[in-house]
């Protein structure tokens, strides 16, 4: 019997399931000096694919520390899905998105976060709003949340392209899902789609799993394993047949073989 492979940090994956204190206020994905040197690979891939593949991208991103915001001005998606297993992380995304849309500039946006002068809808959002304020003051304790880089460093590309990012967040149909990437509901959600560009952050550090695509004509998945180990896997060369994606380290894919052919 084949022994199941375990992700490197599988032992503590459940601490992120529904723990308000485990929201990431900023990100440390990518180059650890905050240079975004890893982005050269992403840009090269984006601009070398057939132009028609860029016309209707449905970008799916884990919330996490919202590194995915930096991909918006590059991939310029026509549909957005943000998801996270932690409901507090989803609330965090709502607050960041709302403040981005309510601000006219990068400076105004960051000041709003610092001042914490914006409405919230419930106690969880109030908790997150206070954590954002504490982060901006450099006083966020680890008992309330995780914080490494500043927002200017975490979301540099998105902030440098503030108006374009705002336009995308404002005008792009957006779905929010509170579920793990390995769930049956997530698998059903993506299986029939062939225009998915997925940012999975470092999920495979905590859990190995499989996803299936009926025809991955325009499916791309990007993961960044800490530290500084990005992997971008483009499945378009496997178009025309069902494919199984192994979300592991490293990513891999194989054709799904019908049971009668096994």
Q: What is the pLDDT of residues 188-246, one digit of tens each?
A: 999 999 999 999 999 999 899 999 999 999 999 999 986 667 999 999 999 999 999 99
Tell if the pTM clears 0.85, that is, is over it: yes
Which residue, chain included where needed, has tokens 């998945």? 221
Q: What is the pLDDT of residue 6?
A: 84
Site of tokens 């529904």:
18
The crossing angle, in degrees rounded to 10, of helices 106-115 and 87-102 is: 130
CA-CA distance, 179 to 167, in Å (whole number)?
A: 27
CA distances for 217 relative to 152, 173, 196, 221, angstroms: 35, 22, 9, 13
CB crowding 51-86: b at 16 or more within 10 Å, else e: eebbeebbbbbbbbbbbbbbbbbbbbbbbbbbbbbb
pLDDT of residue 10: 64
Kindly give the residue spans of alpha helices, DSSP state H, lying in the chain.
Answer: 39-48, 72-75, 87-102, 106-115, 123-136, 151-154, 156-160, 162-171, 184-191
The pLDDT score that the predictor gives to residue 11 is 55
DSSP 200-219: -TTGGGT--EEEEES--TT-
pLDDT score, position 33? 81
Residues of the chain under the 70 pLDDT cut: 1-4, 10-18, 226-228, 258-262
Is 219 exposed, middle or buried (CB count within 10 Å of its CB: 0-12, 13-18, 19+)? buried
Q: What is the C-alpha R_g of the chain?
A: 18
């Amino acid at each position: 019997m084949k022994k199941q492979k375990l992700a490197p940090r599988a032992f503590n994956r459940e601490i992120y399931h529904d723990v308000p204190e485990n929201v990431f206020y900023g990100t440390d994905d990518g180059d650890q000096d905050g240079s975004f040197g890893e982005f050269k690979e992403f840009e090269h891939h984006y601009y070398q694919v057939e132009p028609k593949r860029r016309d209707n991208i449905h970008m799916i991103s884990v919330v996490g520390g919202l590194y995915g915001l930096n991909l918006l001005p590059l991939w310029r998606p026509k549909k957005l899905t943000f998801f996270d297993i932690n409901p507090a992380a989803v609330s965090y995304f709502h607050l960041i998105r709302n403040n981005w849309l309510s601000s006219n500039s990068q400076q105004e946006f960051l000041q709003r976060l610092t001042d914490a002068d914006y409405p919230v809808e419930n106690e969880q959002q109030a908790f997150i709003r206070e954590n954002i304020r504490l982060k901006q003051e450099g006083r966020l304790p680890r008992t309330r949340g995780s914080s490494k880089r500043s927002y200017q460093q975490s979301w540099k590309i998105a902030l440098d392209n503030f108006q374009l990012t705002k336009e995308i967040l404002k005008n792009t149909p957006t779905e929010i899902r509170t579920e793990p990437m390995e769930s049956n509901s997530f698998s059903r959600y993506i299986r029939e789609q062939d225009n998915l560009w997925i940012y999975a952050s470092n999920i495979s550090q905590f859990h190995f799993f499989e996803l299936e695509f009926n025809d991955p004509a325009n499916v791309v998945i990007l993961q960044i394993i800490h530290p500084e180990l990005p992997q971008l896997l483009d499945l378009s060369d496997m178009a025309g047949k069902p494919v199984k994606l192994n979300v592991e380290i490293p990513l891999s894919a194989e054709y799904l073989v019908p049971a009668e052919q096994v």
